[in-house]
Chains A and B, each alone.
Chain A
Amino acid sequence: MPHMQRIFVIALAVLVALTAPAGAAGERDVTIAQGIDAEFLDVQMTNNIVTLIINTSIYDTLLTRDKQLNLVPSLATAYKNVSEKVWEVKLRPNVKFHNGEPFSAEAVKFSFERIFRADFKSPQKGWFSTIDRVEIVDPTTVRFHTKLPDPAMPARMTLMYQLAPKYVAQVGDQQANLKPVGTGPFKFVEWQKNERIVVEANDAHWSGKPAVRRATWRPIPELGARIAALQTGQADLIVNVPPDQLQTLAATKTVRVEKIPSCRIINFAIAQIKGGPIGDKRVRQALNHAVDMQGILDAVLMGNGKRINSFMPTNVWGYDPAIPLYDYNPKKAKELLAAAGQTNLTLTLQAPNGRWAMDKDVAQAVAGQLTENGIKTNIKIIGEWGAYVRTILDHKTEEIAMNGWCLPSLEPDHWVTPNLKTGEPVSQYGNPEVDKLMDAARAEMNVDKRKQLYSQLLRLIHDEAPYIFGYQQMDIYGVNNRLKWTPRGDESIRLTEISF
């Protein structure tokens, strides 16, 4: 037995020694818990929203969006069209990277060209595929030459993260990822994989000193643990609180709930390209009339969601409030089905599990209502996201597939084209008339005319009903009361918007 005791004592000592206690948190420090860790701190290696949120504290972009999601200057102070295919951008002078390297036109050219380097596995190539080249005019002026007239250039500039050319050349891509250097309001401190990412205030930032002194991003995948971390003060801000957990949070006095309709829209794609009954517009319209979407929002999501009239969230430029919502009208649905000769329809609806807030529950409610209103709808839950994505990209979805969409550019074209243009990888729909309008809107440089084109396009999409139109997801956060902070509609969390 003494042997055993000694072994236990040594084992315990080793275990305790292995976990170094963390330093005490200061008053103006914050800890933010999200579901996953950053994939990269080389911001050009990712298109994942959570990863981008973390990187946005370290790197600046050329333009950015304010709280109302309007375009505002960041590292670019002004931009204009010199000609239809040339954008001239003025850069903020006297800006330095965290390592002291000056920011200039050189960095803009380097950052752009790095994404397209043949051996660089950036998933961002598609974001900037319309740009032909970058020309340096002088140290604080660059020109972007586009392949075609591209009115989305300002939106693209909100995704142009700026890297330090000399630093990256010196340390290489792998180190640039592990020890990121940007011009952003926060400087990188440490990254313990799957444990924490720590950043500290960059008091020399061009926008002034941040109120937050130090921020820790913690990945806590399990919802129960994330909520517990907020309740115990281990985290100050948590994301993705599902509506059915709001009551749990309400019971804790030190925390509050903040919510906002997100740029993420949840719809039910009807695979028109499959043909058959759902190839008929009247059937797709009938499906829309047969679902009481507001009722589902109220009952399943407890009112946490905002209905949409076409394939565009209300907070993205191009949305047209004049387009009506589909009304819940089972009688009209039956008439439309009868007119289409489809009175005995059986469909299958597929949905993921755990991808979007209460996705499976909402999908079950939709299928239930369709069945109740005479369209027998089976439900198929595909829990594993990789498998779900494959059905979409292989164009082998069931007749109806739940779909969630938001891209960080907030550019209207990035909602409609990937999802509805004929032949696009994600699109389960094809219509030359819709394609024509999309192409026209995408290339129109006159803002007013462009807005009109989107209005026309979204109206046509409403009428064509390639979706059972759903809702804008409500982004729900749990926040410690010591933080002054309200959420943004683009799913981002800006540390500079937090005060105490």
Chain B
Amino acid sequence: MVGYVARRLLQSLGVLLGVSVIVFGLLHLTGDPTRLLLPLEAREEDVRQMRALLGLDDPLWVQYARFLTRAVRGDFGLSFKHQVPALTLIFQTLPATLQLTGAGLCFALVVAVPAGILAALKRNSILDAACSVGVLLGQAMPVYWLGLLLIMVFAVGLGWFPAAGRDGWSSLVLPATALGAFSMARIARMARSGMLEVLAQDYVRTARAAGIRAFVVTYKYALKNAAIPLVTIVGLEFGILLGGAVITETIFAWPGVGRLAVDAIFSRDYPLVQAIVAVLATLFVVINLVVDLVYTWLDPRIVYVRSVR
């Protein structure tokens, strides 16, 4: 197990290195950031001076080597635009994003898992149909549209929640709902199909025949087995939500990493974009690893061993 984790972590380094090369290359294709940092009317000499100060007049490989040697020590340099260490900016904003993503996922799970199970248990009933409609709506509504709709109804119309910003728990409700809606739909669908499959298994029938209460059969034996694909998708969903938070954060003026990233990309803030991508990629890799490890807990038949050739 320890060997497996160590090997996976080593592989992750390769992934992160690959990501950094791609992001570095893409960023440098988007053009010179100096001109966006200076006033439009700035003279060429001022532009040259600024470029030198930012280290942008070195050859590309020198810039990448510098970036990499610093990054391994946890130093992503100063954000061009804010002149603050890039990591400082990320750590200031990451809690807000994790909070929003966590709340979005919680909302999705709290609604989707029971809904999916009920739909499976009451297959082809009105309840099942209602769940299907909910799933369809959740997947069809773009987050910016749903976000504005929620603001109009629950902030402006009913006055229950604030329209924007991050002031207290009530400000979390609307953005988390908007962000979680799409995941909710996907998870509900997965929970329903997973549950249907498990309910048709022999051991469920055997358990029922043995006179075990229906509740225990469903929630203790069936659900745990139906949970494996669910855990996979929840892990992936968390990563997707981290990305999806960009739009939600913009609509609800939520001060998270997503907004920071968009802003950094538009202003060609190379160090900040690279740092954000590195941090998010690391998070994603770690979540994937955790998901794989959770499998062994859910299904003891899954054991990670050294591969045999």
A: residues with CB less than 8 A from B are 1, 8, 11-12, 14-16, 18-22, 33, 36, 39-40, 42, 45, 47, 119, 121, 123, 125-126, 129, 173-174, 177-178, 192-196, 218-222, 224-226, 228-229, 231-232, 234, 384-387, 389-390, 392-393, 407, 414, 417-418, 424-426
Tell me the complex Cα distance, A385–B265, Å.
11
Contact A126 B42, CB 8 Å, known A11-B102, A19-B171, A194-B260: yes
Q: How far is the CB of A270 from chain B (nearest CB, A)?
A: 18
B: residues with CB less than 8 A from A are 30-31, 35-44, 46, 50, 53-54, 81-84, 89, 92-93, 95-96, 99, 102-103, 106, 109-110, 148, 151-152, 155-156, 159, 162-169, 171-172, 219-220, 223, 250-253, 255-256, 259-260, 263, 266-268
A389–B102 touching, CB < 8 Å: no
Q: How far is the CB of A417 from chain B (nearest CB, A)?
A: 8
A224–B266 touching, CB < 8 Å: no
B255–A195 touching, CB < 8 Å: yes
B81–A425 touching, CB < 8 Å: no
Tell me the complex Cα distance, A12–B163, Å.
21
Contact A225 B40, CB 8 Å, known A19-B168, A125-B46: no
Contact A21 B168, CB 8 Å, known A8-B106, A224-B148: yes
B106–A15 touching, CB < 8 Å: yes
Q: Which of B39, B53, B103, B152 has the largest number of chain A CB atoms within 10 A?
A: B39
B41–A229 touching, CB < 8 Å: no
A19–B164 touching, CB < 8 Å: no
Tell me the complex Cα distance, A36–B82, Å.
13
Query: Residue of B at shortest CB range from A23?
Result: B167
Q: Collect the chain A residues with CB atoms within 8 Å of residue B266's CB.
A: 384-386
A-B contact pairs, 14 of them (CB 8 A): A19-B171, A39-B82, A119-B53, A123-B38, A126-B41, A192-B92, A192-B255, A194-B256, A222-B253, A224-B148, A228-B155, A386-B267, A392-B40, A424-B41
Query: Residue of A at shortest CB range from B103?
Result: A15
Query: Residue of B at shortest CB range from A127?
Result: B39
Known: A126-B42, A232-B159. 5 other contacts (CB 8 A): A19-B99, A121-B83, A194-B256, A219-B253, A389-B36
Tell me the complex Cα distance, A155–B163, Å.
40
Q: How far is the CB of B183 from chain A (nearest CB, A)?
A: 15
Tell me the complex Cα distance, A96–B108, Å.
55
Q: Collect the chain B residues with CB atoms within 8 Å of residue A178's CB.
A: 84
Query: Residue of B at shortest CB range from A418?
Result: B41
Contact A21 B167, CB 8 Å, known A177-B83, A228-B155: yes
Q: Collect the chain A residues with CB atoms within 8 Å of residue B159's CB.
A: 232
Q: How far is the CB of B162 from chain A (nearest CB, A)?
A: 5
Query: Residue of A at shortest CB range from B35?
Result: A393
Q: How far is the CB of A23 from chain B (nearest CB, A)?
A: 10
Tell me the complex Cα distance, A418–B82, Å.
26
B35–A389 touching, CB < 8 Å: yes
Q: How far is the CB of B250 from chain A (nearest CB, A)?
A: 5
A224–B151 touching, CB < 8 Å: yes
Q: How far is the CB of B31 from chain A (nearest CB, A)?
A: 6
Q: Collect the chain B residues with CB atoms within 8 Å of residue A218's CB.
A: 164-165, 253
A18–B99 touching, CB < 8 Å: yes
Q: Collect the chain B residues with CB atoms within 8 Å of residue A1's CB.
A: 219-220, 223
Q: Collect the chain A residues with CB atoms within 8 Å of residue B267's CB.
A: 386
Q: How far is the CB of A4 from chain B (nearest CB, A)?
A: 8
A229–B163 touching, CB < 8 Å: yes
Contact A426 B166, CB 8 Å, known A18-B95, A218-B253: no
Contact A232 B155, CB 8 Å, known A126-B41, A193-B92, A220-B164: yes
B36–A40 touching, CB < 8 Å: no
The listed residue (A45, A119, A121, A195) touching B166 by CB distance below 8 A is A195
A121–B35 touching, CB < 8 Å: no
Tell me the complex Cα distance, A119–B53, Å.
7
Q: Collect the chain A residues with CB atoms within 8 Å of residue B31's CB.
A: 386-387, 390
B168–A231 touching, CB < 8 Å: no
A225–B36 touching, CB < 8 Å: no
Tell me the complex Cα distance, A221–B260, Å.
12
Tell me the complex Cα distance, A225–B251, Å.
6
A22–B83 touching, CB < 8 Å: no
The listed residue (A177, A193, A426) touching B40 by CB distance below 8 A is A426
A426–B41 touching, CB < 8 Å: yes
Q: Which of B92, B155, B253, B256 has the largest number of chain A CB atoms within 10 A?
A: B253
Query: Residue of B at shortest CB range from A221?
Result: B250
B165–A195 touching, CB < 8 Å: yes
A15–B172 touching, CB < 8 Å: yes
Query: Residue of B at shortest CB range from A45?
Result: B83
Tell me the complex Cα distance, A196–B162, Å.
15
Tell me the complex Cα distance, A298–B110, Å.
52
Query: Residue of B at shortest CB range from A417?
Result: B41
Tell me the complex Cα distance, A418–B151, Å.
43
Q: Which of A18, A194, A387 has the largest number of chain B CB atoms within 10 A?
A: A194
Q: Which of A11, A42, A119, A407 has the largest number of chain B CB atoms within 10 A?
A: A11
Contact A228 B268, CB 8 Å, known A19-B169, A196-B165, A390-B35: no
Q: Collect the chain A residues with CB atoms within 8 Å of residue B263's CB.
A: 36
Tell me the complex Cα distance, A60–B157, Å.
42
A221–B43 touching, CB < 8 Å: no
B259–A121 touching, CB < 8 Å: no
B39–A40 touching, CB < 8 Å: no
A229–B83 touching, CB < 8 Å: no
The listed residue (B41, B169, B253) touching A225 by CB distance below 8 A is B253
Q: Collect the chain B residues with CB atoms within 8 Å of residue A40's CB.
A: 82-83
Q: Which of A22, A221, A226, A392 has the largest number of chain B CB atoms within 10 A?
A: A221
Q: How far is the CB of A1 from chain B (nearest CB, A)?
A: 5
Q: Collect the chain A residues with CB atoms within 8 Å of residue B53's CB.
A: 119, 121
A126–B168 touching, CB < 8 Å: no
The listed residue (B39, B92, B162, B255) touching A123 by CB distance below 8 A is B39
Q: Collect the chain B residues with CB atoms within 8 Å of residue A174's CB.
A: 83-84
Q: How far is the CB of A63 from chain B (nearest CB, A)?
A: 20
Contact A15 B169, CB 8 Å, known A40-B82, A126-B43, A220-B253: yes
Q: Collect the chain A residues with CB atoms within 8 Å of residue B110's CB.
A: 8
Q: Collect the chain B residues with CB atoms within 8 Å of residue A390's CB.
A: 31, 35
Q: How far is the CB of A65 from chain B (nearest CB, A)?
A: 19
Q: Collect the chain B residues with CB atoms within 8 Å of residue A42's CB.
A: 83
Tell me the complex Cα distance, A125–B39, Å.
10
Query: Residue of A at shortest CB range from B40?
Result: A426
The listed residue (B54, B83, B164) touching A228 by CB distance below 8 A is B164
The listed residue (A12, A177, A195) touching B84 by CB distance below 8 A is A177
